[in-house]
Chain A
Amino acid sequence: MGVEEEVKVLKRIPLFANIDAAKLKLMAFASERLSFTPGQYLCKQGDVGDAAYIIIDGEADVVLESEEGNLTVASVGQNDIVGEIAILIDVPRTASIVATSEVVALKVTKELFFRMVTDFPEMSVEIMRVLAHRLEAANARLRRQAS
């Protein structure tokens, strides 16, 4: 699969739906496409985050690791973007992401990510939307646990 097809995949992701194809091409071209085998980490909790991943194909679990054991908090799959929190704010990875099937992902480095966000404000609005959804989901979970 080449850059052209990756762009088609990106187009289907809401975050990038409104972005000019040439920019997406640039992003795809400047990103590394990585494949992961089941069990491999896309990112590891506690590590310094230097990249976000856009999953093109396959499934992965978001796992919170603690001394008591691992807790899978969510599953991510095609068209999801993961690992962006650690590159937005300089904190270590807040969770691990582990491939559960063969995963193909675009690795968007911190530098590239910031370039894209600064150059295309519509992208940052989309990101805010994604984060707000996550926050809402987390709140909902907390409410459920509290009640």
Chain B
Amino acid sequence: MEPNLFKYIWRYSRREQIGILLLVAISLPFYFISLSVPKDIVNTGIIGQGYAGPGDTQSFLAFDLPLSETLFGAPITLFEGFQLEQESMLLGLSFTFLALVIVNGLFKFQINTAKGRLGERMLRRLRFELADRLLRFRILSLRKMKGAEVATMVKDEVEPLGGFIGDAFVTPAFLGGQALTAMAFIMVQSLWLGLIAGAIVLVQALLIPKLRKRILVLGRQRQLTARALAGRISELLDGATEVHANDATHWERAEISNRLGLIFGIRFEIFQRKFFVKFLNNFLSQLTPFIFYALGGILALRGSLDIGALVAVIAAYKDLPGPVRDLINWEQQRNDVQIKYEQVIEQFQPGEIIEPEMQDPEADDGQPLSGAIVFSSVSLADDSDNNLIEGVTLNLPLDSATAVVGDSGSGKEYLPQLIVGLLPAGGGTLTLGGRDVGKLPEAVIGRRLGYADNDSYLFPSSVRENLLYGVKHRPLREADYDEEAKKEWDAARAEAGRSANSLYDINADWIDYEALGVTNEEELRAHLLRAVALVGFEDDVYRYGLYGAIDPEERPQVAEGVLQARAALAKRLEAEGFTDLVARFDRDSYNMNATLAENLLFGTPTKPDYAPDALGGNRLVIGILDDMGLTGKLQEMGLKIAEFTVEIFADLPPGHPFFDQFSFITADDLPDYEAIVGRAEKDDVSSLNEADRTLLLGLPFRYVEARHRLDLVDAAFAAKVVEARQTLAKTIEDKDPGAVAFYDLESYNGVASLLDNVLFGRLVYGRAEAQETLERIIGEVLSELDLREAVLAAGLDYQVGIGGNRLSATQRQKTALARALVKRPDLLVINEATAVMDGATRSRIVERVLEARRQEEEGRRGIFWTLERATLAQHFDQVVVMKNGRVAEVGGFEELNKDGTALAGLLSSD
């Protein structure tokens, strides 16, 4: 990248910079005219200079050719102007002034907009360029960088550049012009005084930057320390487990404090120096007038200088310090951003960078790799030149299944990384189908090979998006835009082009259907689900689907099917004698297995103020309860719950797990309720004040009679709640429509989960094996109605969380494996990607994947799998046994499995 910021700016924004300069130049005459108009208004318009008396006229807006008097001896008048009387003249001049104000304002607006746009474009270009370079770094270089620090660089450190770039050329040109004009004027008036003024400006211009040198050094340190701080802060998050498990919070506090102290010291020194420079600068600026007054005064007294000229010099000098000071400030800012720029660029200049042609999206010819994987004395060393592997020579058919086994120091984990080009071979050559891996473009590696290892990263989106991550290489079909959206995208694309950003549309369809062997969305889904099933992830995905919601508008057939399943389930439960396992929702009766909140709303809340915990403060709901005379009863329930909770939890220390699991009241709030219980006389809520009763009112909404068994819901209360439910439903529909999705036997509830929609009720508490039985029957019903795939499809929309943290480690590995399989690669490269799974799961997956790959079409059957356990290798076509970084044995499993072989050794220690 260009190390000099100015050259960088000039190279990419030359035309726009010149355009802005021109715009400024054009605006200047208007600006100067606007300065002289007020004088004319006063002199001609108000005082009436040049008017002989009432009725006299002068010409308004007369316009001579500029400089014509000097050039031709007589003014050449281009426009005679209008003859106006004094009052009209005053108005005319005033309106001229108003017009100029508007014109100047518009110029300023235009110039600032142009500068802003230019700055933002350059900022965008720079940020994109940095991100682009990150995408072109070798993995090894990336491993040495701290994520948080890089993020600060791209986000914060280049930000000030955007503001500066617009002023990079305009400001010095403009201010320099002003300063030079003022200097020239002084020189004309008095050469000597001009020279003195010039000398002092020169001292300023030379001395001040010198003093600022140290400030620049400090500025650089400030940036580096701040960046390191960002890195440390992210370490506090990454290492949270260790920090807490080792009681290291105080050490960390001291460490951070120490850093902040350093930063404080640097920043404070900058302030001190900055203000000293400012002081000096101001002093020098004021020194000149002193000389003018003293020296010029003496000269004037002695008669060698005309007083008029002295006054003119002093007046002209007023215009000099401003621009000079601004210029010096600009210079300071320039140095600042230049340093920031250099500091960032420096970090983005690694030894080796992937050339753009290696990432050409069209570099893959679509031909499958064929032939062999050939290692010819390949070696690899770590940073300190220790050999990780050496002299590895192998010749393995691409289209068969190879297992690599070895103990932990064998170097077996490097072979897959070498094959997919993540690590460049240190010595020797490695070819795939006769093509050198080091020279294979990413388009070939990324499409023809599928790779998964034991810490594969999942992106924070759905399971589906993660599975498809390996088949989105470039946009293949334009997005489905209407005319307006198309125009918008065209404009966005053109703008992206101006900053040399990517021209690809993120909203286009990037999925390479052809490579997957599918033609439409349904086949694609089936393809994804096959991969999911293959790695044993299907049951989990099914569960995600059951507990996930679908949008009935988007998937009307599924919603329709679920309604059928709802009816079918009821019939089925009856037929099998399990009706008592589910308490169905019934508009006319209280559901003992549902919460009080659910019984009141008889639906799923869509707004947070209708959630169970919020109901106590929901005016609309409480209003209805008041009208129905239920509030008092609920407060009584609250009091009983509070009494009970206080009694059984009183002795438990706060933070006891039971609070989370069982309590209606958190440990922190318990003392408050204890006090309320103490204040209440004989279970009578009326003895309590308003605030206490409000607190109690919030308690019973999560209460489930069948589960909590406190005997709080009797028939009379239940009837009242059912009555309130009807009124509440009407009121909500009137006053807050859509706040609650009501249960309705005949319609799909888009807010509730698929499972809830099928069940249309609550599982009954206290029946042994209820859940298992119900899950089995629901599973059967859904399969019979061909809904299993729809549930699985809904499960694919499950969000995996940041880095996949909503999945278990096993599930993450399964997803990563499925992602590699979805691609249908020519060669599947797996690097101990089943490390966290138990032995049975692992061998099941290995067997199934091998079987599935054998069924694949020719050219897509290759497997290169580094295994955790040697026994798993028995299913493979050939086995490579690694030992101490070298190949110990190669051959068929049976062939090698003899006494005394390295493989036998590994097998016995398994």
Q: Mask for B646-658, Cβ within 8 A of A = 1, else 0?
A: 0111110000011
Q: Verify B711–A26 contact, CB threshold 8 A.
A: no
Given A32-B765, A35-B766: A26 in contact with B648 (beta carbons within 8 A): yes
| A32 touches which of B649, B711, B766 (Cβ 8 Å) | B766
Assembled-state Cα–Cα distance A32/B768 (Å):
10
> Is the C-beta of A16 less than 8 angstroms from some C-beta in chain B?
no
Q: Verify B711–A29 contact, CB threshold 8 A.
A: no
A34 to chain B, nearest CB (A): 5
Provide the residues of chain B in CB contact with A22, threshold 8 Å: 647-648, 650-651
Assembled-state Cα–Cα distance A1/B710 (Å):
9
Provide the residues of chain B in CB contact with A30, threshold 8 Å: 658, 661-662
A3 to chain B, nearest CB (A): 5
Assembled-state Cα–Cα distance A35/B706 (Å):
13
Q: Verify A25–B767 contact, CB threshold 8 A.
A: no
> Is the C-beta of A33 less than 8 angstroms from some C-beta in chain B?
yes
Assembled-state Cα–Cα distance A8/B709 (Å):
14
Provide the residues of chain B in CB contact with A36, threshold 8 Å: 768
Q: Verify A33–B644 contact, CB threshold 8 A.
A: no
Q: Verify A29–B708 contact, CB threshold 8 A.
A: yes
**Could you tell me which residues of chain B, from 643 to 687, have a CB within 8 Å of some CB in chain A?**
644, 647-651, 657-658, 661-662
Provide the residues of chain A in CB contact with B514, threshold 8 Å: none
Assembled-state Cα–Cα distance A143/B636 (Å):
61
Q: Verify A2–B709 contact, CB threshold 8 A.
A: yes
> Is the C-beta of B769 less than 8 angstroms from some C-beta in chain A?
yes
> Is the C-beta of A136 less than 8 angstroms from some C-beta in chain B?
no
**Could you tell me which residues of chain A, from 1 to 60, have a CB within 8 Å of some CB in chain B?**
1-4, 6, 22-23, 25-26, 29-30, 32-37, 40, 42
Assembled-state Cα–Cα distance A23/B657 (Å):
15
Q: Verify A3–B709 contact, CB threshold 8 A.
A: yes
B36 to chain A, nearest CB (A): 89
B715 to chain A, nearest CB (A): 15
Assembled-state Cα–Cα distance A35/B765 (Å):
9
B376 to chain A, nearest CB (A): 52
Between A2, A25, A26, the greatest number of chain B beta carbons within 10 A of the residue's beta carbon is seen for A26
Provide the residues of chain B in CB contact with A32, threshold 8 Å: 765-766
With an 8 Å Cβ cutoff, the count of chain B residues facing the other chain is 19
Q: Verify A33–B662 contact, CB threshold 8 A.
A: no
Q: Verify B766–A2 contact, CB threshold 8 A.
A: no
List the B residue with the shortest CB-CB distance to A26.
B648
Given A33-B766, A34-B768: A4 in contact with B662 (beta carbons within 8 A): no
A23 to chain B, nearest CB (A): 8
Q: Verify B649–A35 contact, CB threshold 8 A.
A: no
**Could you tell me which residues of chain A, from 58 to 114, have a CB within 8 Å of some CB in chain B?**
111
Provide the residues of chain B in CB contact with A23, threshold 8 Å: 648
A69 to chain B, nearest CB (A): 24
Q: Verify B766–A34 contact, CB threshold 8 A.
A: yes
**Could you tell me which residues of chain B, from 561 to 582, have a CB within 8 Å of some CB in chain A?**
none
List the A residue with the shortest CB-CB distance to B711.
A2
Assembled-state Cα–Cα distance A29/B662 (Å):
8
Assembled-state Cα–Cα distance A42/B769 (Å):
9
Assembled-state Cα–Cα distance A115/B661 (Å):
14
Provide the residues of chain A in CB contact with B650, threshold 8 Å: 22
List the B residue with the shortest CB-CB distance to A33.
B766
Q: Verify B709–A35 contact, CB threshold 8 A.
A: no
Between A1, A22, A23, A40, the greatest number of chain B beta carbons within 10 A of the residue's beta carbon is seen for A22
Q: Verify A26–B658 contact, CB threshold 8 A.
A: yes
Provide the residues of chain B in CB contact with A29, threshold 8 Å: 644, 648, 662, 708-709
Assembled-state Cα–Cα distance A3/B644 (Å):
10
Provide the residues of chain A in CB contact with B769, threshold 8 Å: 40
A98 to chain B, nearest CB (A): 11
List the A residue with the shortest CB-CB distance to B658.
A30
Assembled-state Cα–Cα distance A27/B772 (Å):
25
Q: Verify A3–B662 contact, CB threshold 8 A.
A: no
Provide the residues of chain A in CB contact with B657, threshold 8 Å: 111
Assembled-state Cα–Cα distance A2/B658 (Å):
20
Assembled-state Cα–Cα distance A22/B648 (Å):
5
| A3 touches which of B649, B658, B710, B768 (Cβ 8 Å) | B710
A83 to chain B, nearest CB (A): 13
A146 to chain B, nearest CB (A): 38
List the B residue with the shortest CB-CB distance to A111.
B657
Q: Verify B709–A25 contact, CB threshold 8 A.
A: no
Q: Mask for B705-736, Cβ within 8 A of A = 1, else 0?
A: 00011110000000000000000000000000
Q: Verify B768–A35 contact, CB threshold 8 A.
A: yes
A123 to chain B, nearest CB (A): 15
Assembled-state Cα–Cα distance A30/B664 (Å):
12
A28 to chain B, nearest CB (A): 8
Q: Mask for B436-475, Cβ within 8 A of A = 1, else 0?
A: 0000000000000000000000000000000000000000
**Could you tell me which residues of chain B, from 613 to 649, have a CB within 8 Å of some CB in chain A?**
644, 647-649
Q: Mask for A108-126, Cβ within 8 A of B = 1, else 0?
A: 0001000100000000000
Assembled-state Cα–Cα distance A25/B658 (Å):
13
List the A residue with the shortest CB-CB distance to B648.
A26
Q: Verify B768–A25 contact, CB threshold 8 A.
A: no
Given A30-B658, A30-B662: A40 in contact with B648 (beta carbons within 8 A): no
Assembled-state Cα–Cα distance A2/B648 (Å):
15
Assembled-state Cα–Cα distance A32/B764 (Å):
12
Assembled-state Cα–Cα distance A35/B767 (Å):
5
Provide the residues of chain B in CB contact with A111, threshold 8 Å: 657
**Could you tell me which residues of chain B, from 836 to 874, have a CB within 8 Å of some CB in chain A?**
none
A63 to chain B, nearest CB (A): 16
Provide the residues of chain A in CB contact with B648, threshold 8 Å: 22-23, 25-26, 29
| A34 touches which of B649, B661, B767 (Cβ 8 Å) | B767
Between B651, B657, B709, B765, the greatest number of chain A beta carbons within 10 A of the residue's beta carbon is seen for B709
Given A34-B766, A35-B766: A25 in contact with B661 (beta carbons within 8 A): no
Provide the residues of chain A in CB contact with B661, threshold 8 Å: 30
Provide the residues of chain A in CB contact with B766, threshold 8 Å: 32-35
Q: Verify A26–B710 contact, CB threshold 8 A.
A: no
Provide the residues of chain A in CB contact with B649, threshold 8 Å: 26
Provide the residues of chain B in CB contact with A26, threshold 8 Å: 648-649, 658
Assembled-state Cα–Cα distance A36/B773 (Å):
13
B644 to chain A, nearest CB (A): 7
B276 to chain A, nearest CB (A): 68
Provide the residues of chain A in CB contact with B765, threshold 8 Å: 32-33
B521 to chain A, nearest CB (A): 43
| B768 touches which of A2, A4, A6, A42 (Cβ 8 Å) | A42
Assembled-state Cα–Cα distance A29/B765 (Å):
13
Assembled-state Cα–Cα distance A111/B649 (Å):
17
List the B residue with the shortest CB-CB distance to A99.
B768
Q: Verify B709–A33 contact, CB threshold 8 A.
A: yes
Q: Verify A40–B768 contact, CB threshold 8 A.
A: yes
| B644 touches which of A25, A34, A37 (Cβ 8 Å) | A25
Assembled-state Cα–Cα distance A52/B767 (Å):
16
Assembled-state Cα–Cα distance A30/B766 (Å):
13
B667 to chain A, nearest CB (A): 14
A47 to chain B, nearest CB (A): 13
Provide the residues of chain B in CB contact with A6, threshold 8 Å: 709
Assembled-state Cα–Cα distance A105/B811 (Å):
36
List the A residue with the shortest CB-CB distance to B577.
A37
Q: Verify A2–B647 contact, CB threshold 8 A.
A: no
Given A22-B650, A25-B647, A26-B649: A4 in contact with B767 (beta carbons within 8 A): no
| 20 CB-based A-B contacts, threshold 8 Å | A2-B711, A3-B644, A6-B709, A22-B647, A22-B650, A22-B651, A23-B648, A29-B648, A29-B662, A30-B658, A30-B662, A33-B709, A33-B765, A34-B766, A34-B767, A34-B768, A35-B766, A35-B767, A35-B768, A40-B769
User: Known pairs A3-B710, A115-B658. 17 more at Cβ < 8 A?
Assistant: A3-B644, A3-B708, A4-B711, A22-B647, A26-B648, A26-B658, A29-B662, A30-B661, A32-B765, A33-B709, A34-B766, A34-B767, A35-B767, A35-B768, A37-B768, A40-B768, A42-B768
Task: Give me the 8 closest cross-chain CB pairs, A-B, nearest first.
Answer: A26-B648, A2-B711, A2-B709, A36-B768, A34-B768, A3-B709, A25-B648, A33-B766
Using CB atoms and an 8 Å cutoff, list the residues of chain A in contact with chain B. Answer: 1-4, 6, 22-23, 25-26, 29-30, 32-37, 40, 42, 111, 115
